[in-house]
Amino acid sequence: MNDTAAAAPQPSPDTPWQPLAGVRVVDFSALLPGPLAGAILADLGAEVVKIEPTGGEGVRHRAVLAPILHAANRSKASLTIDLKREGAAAVVERLARWGDVALESFRPGVAARLGIDHASLSAANPRIISCSVSGYGQNGPWRDMPGHDLNFLAAGGAFAFSGHWTGRPRRSGMPVADLLGAGNAAIAILAALNERQRTGRGMALDVSLMDAVLFGVSMRHGLDRDHWAPDSPYPTNDIFTTADDREIALGVGSEEHLWENFRKVMAPDMPMILESRFDTDAGRREHGDALFAALTETIARRDAADWMARFEAADVPANLCLFPPEAVASDHVRARGFVTEVGGQVLSAFPVAADGRHPQIRRPAPELGSGTREILAMLDFAPASVEELLRDGVVADGPKGRG
Task: Note if the pTM is more than 0.75.
Answer: yes
Angstrom distance (rounded) from CA 208 to CA 151 = 12
**Where along the chain do its domains lie?**
20-222+344-402, 247-320
At 163, is the pLDDT very low, low, confident or very high (cuts 50, 70, 90)? confident
At 402, is the pLDDT very low, low, confident or very high (cuts 50, 70, 90)? very low
Angstrom distance (rounded) from CA 53 to CA 35 = 15
Beta pairing class for 76-81 and 395-396: antiparallel
Query: pLDDT at residue 400 above 50?
Result: no
How much is the average pLDDT of 83-106? 97
Enclosing H/E stretch for 247: strand 247-250
How much is the average pLDDT of 121-147? 98
Enclosing H/E stretch for 340: strand 339-342
How much is the average pLDDT of 373-391? 97
With a CB cutoff of 8 Å and minimum separation 6, the contacts of 161 are: 169, 217, 221, 225, 228, 229, 231
Enclosing H/E stretch for 309: helix 304-313
Beta pairing class for 129-134 and 101-104: parallel
Q: List, in sequence order, every residue forming a beta bridge with 346; answer none if it has no partner.
A: 341
How much is the average pLDDT of 156-173? 88
**Which pLDDT value is given to residue 132?**
98
**Which pLDDT value is given to residue 12?**
74
Query: pLDDT at residue 6 above 70?
Result: no
**Which pLDDT value is given to residue 393?**
96
Query: pLDDT at residue 1 above 50?
Result: no
**Which pLDDT value is given to residue 227?**
80
**Which pLDDT value is given to residue 7?**
56
Query: pLDDT at residue 193 above 70?
Result: yes
How much is the average pLDDT of 277-290? 94
How much is the average pLDDT of 330-345? 96
At 3, is the pLDDT very low, low, confident or very high (cuts 50, 70, 90)? low
Q: Is the Cα dihedral 85, 56, 398, 35 positive or negative? A: negative
Mean pLDDT of the chain: 94
Query: pLDDT at residue 57 above 50?
Result: yes
CATH of domain 20-222+344-402: 3.40.50.10540
With a CB cutoff of 8 Å and minimum separation 6, the contacts of 109 are: 144
Phi, psi of 141, rounded to the nearest 5 degrees: -60, -25
**Which pLDDT value is given to residue 4?**
52
**Which pLDDT value is given to residue 211?**
98
Query: pLDDT at residue 403 above 60?
Result: no
CA angle in degrees (0–180, nearest 5) for 118-27-210: 75
